Structure 1
């Protein structure tokens, strides 16, 4: 039996007699460790702290004290259920329903990729390179909306458009937008508008400032589009994308949390993993303003190939940016009319 197939059930509630806080947590760690979860201790803690009313400080103080019976009986069924799900390789983020990215909490489910820290490199590059808040930005293959919304909220850009072919993913992104974009500290007015009869399209507008008279208008749009199929003459200052880039043959080799629970549509980049970069390199030219920029997340071994695709299409100032662990993670370039 392989490591990922081993699964030992959580002890029944009645088998734990007057347990301490530590003993309850240890039971979760035991089950996850038996199931081959690499970060069993950390994952068990997250599930534990979401199931019982305690934080890390109070746990360290009280961990060897017996848990109050009412607290145990109320929290144990939920904790045991969550541990069983994680032991079956359902991602922690799907169980908890959210993932932090750029300091913001994004709701996630099986219809979107879980935001990863590596992708923060792309957002940070755009924020650093593009201080002009009047910039128009397009996030292609938005998924949960983590890139586009982070730019809209943190960069406070005038207009950010996020597109995806998946309606299910866009519904997740729309929920995140209503939580993160519409409800900002300085927003004095907000509205959300849908456009029936068209491919899924949502337009969120906020007026932000100290008062209504001097408020600035910012917009976040969601558009269902098969890449650029729903974009005609629109042009942008910046186009960002984290497209599917894993070679088809490698998808089945991924961890079960990824290959079984994240959408293949957002993972599979065709035989060589470069299918979407070829399209993006060609099509982004038609939708960039003079001097516009592109930012693509890449697999750590794809920098040379993506750089060459951009060079062939006439982009200049092509650069490769490494992520925090030192791996190639982003390729960025500038488009100038020739």
Structure 2
């Protein structure tokens, strides 16, 4: 048999040779997953011999990572806003930058929320987990993504307070529905930017959740135009954006009648969220 330390050392070298960023971090995560131990305990079990079946599972995980499959997909989950979310190739891997949108949403009260392009459900379900009295609805064009979102709702025990709809943006919900809060992390990568994405993103994440093609603004045009029809009095619209999209998305919101439009930066100092409120009809 081989010890965990020996497996880990060999895997780090192979990942480094394959050009993987942070090979030691990825190898430790994958080994802990294969051994079915908490990552915080991995060091304690590294001297032990690894059973054949677990060594084989680790080998499969390393091969998948060398093929540039994201770690979250290999282990099947990603931590987001203090909770673990199920992740599959049918949804985007939740990013830390998106936690800013959740922070902003929680900065004011709301009783009901709508998440457009919900994907894994990480935004909406985090909001409901933080606000036990709130209810929400999530919309996605992908039925497979909604299946993942439903599993996450059960995992977080908020399934009784959320409803999911398959369809395109506002077309999927009741036309008379009104919400205190509308949030979205829509596809916003431009067609030109797609070729520059890392293999982990370009080859493994759903393109329909990454880009609408063209200038990347199609979703914002639709959401800004129709959000006022579905916001309660005093309601808010929060949109995650690409770091070069603050100006055009701000203009779309102002043109739709929002009087207050603010841009917020992520921890790297890049424009990341546009917040619009105080709608006034023309």
Question: Are 2:116 and 1:137 aligned?
Answer: no
**Partners in 2 of 1:57 and 1:110 — Cα distance?**
27
Q: Closer, same or farther in 2 for the Cα pair 1:53/1:267, shift >3 Å?
A: closer
Q: TM-score, normalised by structure 2?
A: 0.94
Residues 174-209 of structure 1: CA deviation (Å, up to 9, x unaligned): 111111134xxxxxxxxxxxxxxxxxxxxx42xxxx
Provide structure 1 residue ranges, at least 5 long, that are not aligned to the other structure: 1-17, 183-203, 206-218
* 1:161 aligned counterpart, secondary structure: strand
Work out which of the residue numbers 29, 48, 71 in structure 2 matches 1:46. 29
Q: Does structure 1 residue 298 correspond to structure 2 residue 226?
A: no
Cα distance in 1, alignment partners of residues 142 and 123 from structure 2: 16
The structural deviation recorded for 1:19 is 4.1
Distance 1:56 1:307 in 2: 42
In structure 2, distance between residues paired with 1:252 and 1:44: 27
Measured against aligned partners, the alpha-carbon deviations of 1:190-240 in whole angstroms (never above 9, x if no partner) come to: xxxxxxxxxxxxxx42xxxxxxxxxxxxx2111112111132111111100
Aligned 8 A contact 1:248 1:272 in 2? yes
Q: Structure 1 residues 79 and 334, CA, compared in 2 at 3 Å: closer, same or farther?
A: same
In structure 2, relative to structure 1, the CA distance for the partners of 1:88 and 1:320 (3 Å cut) is: same
CA contact 2:77–2:84 (8 Å) conserved in 1: yes
Is the alpha carbon distance of 1:94 and 1:55 closer, same or farther for their aligned partners in structure 2, counting shifts above 3 Å?
closer
Query: What is the 5 A alignment of 1:121-132?
Result: 121-128=100-107, 130-132=108-110
Equivalent position of 2:171 in the other structure: 229
- Structure 1 residues 54 and 174, CA, compared in 2 at 3 Å: closer, same or farther? closer
Task: Give the aligned partner of residue 85 of structure 1.
Answer: 64
* Distance in 2, Cα, partners of 1:59 & 1:230: 45
Change (3 A) 1:61 1:237: closer
Q: Is the 8 A contact 2:259 2:280 kept in 1?
A: no
Aligned counterparts of 2:263 and 2:70: Cα–Cα separation in 1: 30
Structure 2 distance, partners of 1:329, 1:52, is 37
Higher helix share: 2
Q: 1:52: Cα distance to partner?
A: 2.3
The answer on whether the counterparts of 2:258 and 2:280 sit within 8 Å (CA) in structure 1 is no
1:178 maps onto 2:154 in alignment: yes
Q: How many angstroms does 1:73 deviate by?
A: 2.2
Distance 2:157 2:243 in 1: 31
**Cα RMSD over matched residues?**
1.7
Q: Superposition pairs for residues 196-215 of structure 1, below 5 Å?
A: 204-205=159-160
1:337–1:260 CA distance, 2 compared to 1 (3 A) = same
- TM-score (norm. length: structure 1): 0.79
The Cα shift of 1:248 comes to 1.2
- Please tell me whether the aligned partners of residues 47 and 82 of structure 1 are also in contact (alpha carbons under 8 angstroms): yes
Distance 1:334 1:85 in 2: 44
For residues 252 and 298 of structure 1, what CA distance do their matches in structure 2 show? 19
Q: In structure 1, how many angstroms separate the alpha carbons of the residues matched to 2:12 and 2:75?
A: 17
Distance across 2 between alignment mates of 1:151 and 1:157: 10
Within-5 A mapping of 1:270-309: 270-309=213-252
User: Which consecutive residues of structure 2, in runs of 5 or more, have no partner in the other structure?
Assistant: none
Structure index of larger Rg: 1
SS class of match (1:229): helix
Name whichever of 273-282 and 157-166 sits farther off.
Answer: 157-166
